[in-house]
Structure 1
Amino acid sequence: MDKQNSKFRWVIFTSVLFTYLIMSSQRTAPGLITDQLMADFSVTAATVGLVTSIQFFIYTGLQIPMGMLADRYGPNFLLIIGAAITGIGTIIYSLGTHEFVLFFARMLTGIGDATIWVNMVLILSQWFNKKEFTRLIDFAGMTGSLGFLMATVPFSVLIILLGWRGAFLCAGVMLCLCSIFLYFVLVKKSKQSSFVTNKIQHEKTSVILRRTLTNRQAWALFFCHFGIVGGYIGFIGSWAVPYAMDVYGMTRLEASQLMMISLIGALIGAPLIGWISSCLGTIKRPYIVFHITVLLSWTIFLLFNEHPPLYLLIILFFIIGFGFGSNSLTFAAVRQSFPITETGIVTGFANTGGFLSAVLLPSIIGYILDHFQSTSGSLSDGYYYGFLTPVIFSIFGLIGVTFIKEKLHQKGKTIDRNLGSKL
């Protein structure tokens, strides 16, 4: 089958993205039932926080190994198994009777979730040419943001109707069905092997990994993803609601609506930025613009002493979400810069940068807030100094994107801009 000219590639695209939509919604959905878990299992908020965060730690730690496995054995098998593991973990979570069961369930969910992005990128890179890929990877990023949006009001309604156990049970069953459907689409219908051994390069995975870790381009992509992802997922997904409640006196519902504004910005930004990049024929220039925009947005919080006017706050949250939509350009640059047989490892390496910042930022801000609350009894100064964290992370991102190497095509010739050689 000629993959990149087949109409069936759109079936592949739709089925993979739908699976990603459901899986991404389960990253933040447990945050909706924190109080219910504390009551049902008689545990502290710290315990619930540990149960919730373990998925992100596992996800981050498995990105490079997942890329190595994907390059070596192909993405089909790993994505099918990953969806099944995530579904099983979510089902166990819904049936849990002890906090240790919940912890184990979220570990399974993290393992399964770690398979989705790297293997989805590889599958799309196999079925679509480079120009289509640059556009569609941004739709993939939009799908992730839509999954986060599903884990707010829509999933809350499902919890009200079915109870939290029934809601998570439905999500788990849906993911298991997605796994079965992916097997039918990726293997049976397309007549592809589910489990293959890549012998194209005849190189050990350790050699490819070593080359990746000494490559300037790979590190540039790591840091540009580090800078653009952590502020959005780390702050918007954890501290945005408490910040709005503590500083602006908003209710939880009002603060949640503010978070949704940022999510809507990400939904709009992902496909629009991909379209802009495709029309300009460049990845680096628009990516630099949006990195600068996000950096300036976080800096404004410091200029207004963590309390900008409400209208400006709404604009800033939207812009930060919109700028986050540009993060898919990282993987468009990976697709452009590295051979297909190494794309998995480099994708995992770059994605590790993004989620490492998403893991670090909430903890750093939480430590700063605890420090100021214990010393002065006020969170005001804590939030001010807390905003230094996304500012610093964004500076790292801007430095990273500046050093990206890009190939521009002009009059049939390939031109390297800002060459990124090995360190």
Structure 2
Amino acid sequence: MDKQNSRFRWVIFASVIFAYLIMASQRTAPGLITDQLMSDFNVTATTIGLLASIQFFVYTSLQIPMGILVDRYGPNFFLITGALLTGIGTVIYSQSTHEIVLFLARILTGVGDATIWVSLVLILSQWFNAKEFSRLIGVAGMTGSLGFLIATVPFSALVDLLGWRTSFLSVGVILCSIGIFLYFVLVKKPNQTVLKKHERQNERTKDQLRRIFSSKQAWALFMCHFGVVGGYIGFIGSWAVPYGMDLYGISRLDASQLIMISLVGALIGAPLIGWVSSKLEKIKLPYVVFHIIMLMCWSTFLIFKGQPPFALLILLFFIIGFGFGSNSLTFSAVRLSFPIKESGLVSGFANTGGFLSAVLLPSIFGKVLDLFQFSSGSIGEAYFYGFFTPVLFSLVGLIGVILLKENWQNANPGE
């Protein structure tokens, strides 16, 4: 089958994107039932915090190993297995009777979740040419943000209607069904193999890793993703609500609207930036522009001593979300810079940079708040110093994108 000219590639795209949508929603959905978990399991806020972060730790730590495995054996098996593991983990989560089982369920979900992005990138690389890929990876990025959106009001309404256990059980069953459906779409219908060992993979993993780790282009991609992802997921997802409540005196509900504004920005930005990049046949130029914009946005918080006027704050949150949509250009650059048979590993390496920053930023920001609030007694001053963290992270991203090289003439490397 000529994959890149087949109409069936759109069935592949729709199926993989839908799987990503549902799997992404389960990254943050447990945050909706924090109070119920604390009550039902009689656990502390510290335990709940660890439970919330463990999936991201598992996800981040598995990106490079998953990239190696996907390159070596193909993405089909890992995407199908990942959907099933995420579904099984969610079902176990819904039936947990002890906090230990909750942790084991989230670890299992994290392992399944770790398969989705690198597998998605490689599947789209195989089925679509470089220009189509540049547009569609932006749509994929939007789908992740849409998954986060589903895990807010819609899933909260489902929890209110059915209770948290039945709600998570239902999603778990849906994910298991998606895993079975993906087998027929990715393997059975196009007559593909579940596991396919590529011919060139006789190279030792150690040598392959050494070559990628010594690649300036790979490190530039790592830094790009580190700079653009951490501020959005790390701050918007963890500190936006308490920031709004502490410095602007607004309610928790009103503060949560800041997250929604940023999410809307991301939903618009991801496909639009991908489309612009494809039309221009350039990655570096738009990526540099948005890294500069992100750096300016975070620096604005410093200019206003951590508390810009509320109208400007709303605009900043929207632009930060919109700029986050440019992170899909990282994987467009992977597509053009490395052979497809290595894109899983490089995508995993770059994605590690993004989620490493998302894991590091909330804890660093929190430590800065504790340090300066204790020494100065002013929460406003503490937030001011805290904002140096996303500024520095954004600066790392800008350096990375400046070092990035692109070559649209090499649009199908290694094929």
Q: TM-score range by the shorter chain?
A: over 0.9
Q: After superposition, where does 1:36-185 map in structure 2 within 5 Å?
A: 36-185=36-185
User: Does the 8 A contact of 1:208 with 1:342 survive in 2?
Assistant: no
Structure 2: 5+ residue runs without aligned partners? none
From the superposition, tell whether residues 303 and 337 of structure 1 become closer, same or farther in structure 2 (CA, over 3 Å): same
From the superposition, tell whether residues 115 and 201 of structure 1 become closer, same or farther in structure 2 (CA, over 3 Å): closer
Q: After superposition, where does 1:21-420 map in structure 2 within 5 Å?
A: 21-200=21-200, 202-409=202-409
Deviation for aligned residue 1:164: 1.2
User: Does the 8 A contact of 2:72 with 2:201 survive in 1?
Assistant: no
CA distance in structure 1 between the aligned counterparts of 2:346 and 2:158, rounded to whole angstroms: 38
Deviations 1:103-147 (A, max 9, x none): 111100110000000000000000001110011000000000100
CA distance in structure 2 between the aligned counterparts of 1:235 and 1:306, rounded to whole angstroms: 13
Deviation for aligned residue 1:371: 2.3
Instruction: Write the letter of the residue equivalent to 2:246.
Output: D
TM-score when normalising by structure 1: 0.95
Deviations 1:362-421 (A, max 9, x none): 011111222234344442222111111000000000000000111144xxxx69xxxxxx
User: Does the 8 A contact of 2:79 with 2:119 survive in 1?
Assistant: yes
Deviation for aligned residue 1:202: 3.2
Deviation for aligned residue 1:40: 1.1
User: Does the 8 A contact of 1:72 with 1:205 survive in 2?
Assistant: no
Instruction: Write the letter of the residue equivalent to 2:153.
Output: V
CA distance in structure 2 between the aligned counterparts of 1:319 and 1:79, rounded to whole angstroms: 32
User: Does the 8 A contact of 2:336 with 2:407 survive in 1?
Assistant: yes
User: Does the 8 A contact of 1:139 with 1:271 survive in 2?
Assistant: yes
Deviation for aligned residue 1:45: 0.4
CA distance in structure 2 between the aligned counterparts of 1:312 and 1:218, rounded to whole angstroms: 36
Deviation for aligned residue 1:168: 1.0
Deviation for aligned residue 1:201: 5.0
User: Does the 8 A contact of 2:302 with 2:388 survive in 1?
Assistant: yes
Q: Which residue of 2 aligns with 1:420?
A: none
CA distance in structure 2 between the aligned counterparts of 1:163 and 1:370, rounded to whole angstroms: 36
Deviation for aligned residue 1:80: 0.3
SS class of match (2:407): strand
Larger mean Cα displacement after TM superposition, 1-10 or 369-378: 369-378
CA distance in structure 2 between the aligned counterparts of 1:165 and 1:385, rounded to whole angstroms: 41
CA distance in structure 2 between the aligned counterparts of 1:67 and 1:397, rounded to whole angstroms: 22
SS class of match (1:308): coil
CA distance in structure 1 between the aligned counterparts of 2:287 and 2:394, rounded to whole angstroms: 12
SS class of match (1:299): helix
Instruction: Write the letter of the residue equivalent to 2:54.
Output: I
SS class of match (2:163): helix
TM-score when normalising by structure 2: 0.97
Percent identity over paired residues: 71
CA distance in structure 1 between the aligned counterparts of 2:24 and 2:362, rounded to whole angstroms: 19
Deviation for aligned residue 1:332: 0.4
CA distance in structure 2 between the aligned counterparts of 1:272 and 1:254, rounded to whole angstroms: 28
Deviations 1:195-222 (A, max 9, x none): 1111235322222111000000000000
CA distance in structure 2 between the aligned counterparts of 1:306 and 1:378, rounded to whole angstroms: 12
Instruction: Write the letter of the residue equivalent to 1:31.
Output: G
CA distance in structure 1 between the aligned counterparts of 2:319 and 2:204, rounded to whole angstroms: 43
How many residues of Structure 1 are paired with residues of Structure 2 in the alignment?
411
Q: Which residue of 2 aligns with 1:20?
A: 20
CA distance in structure 2 between the aligned counterparts of 1:196 and 1:116, rounded to whole angstroms: 18
CA RMSD of aligned residues (A): 1.1
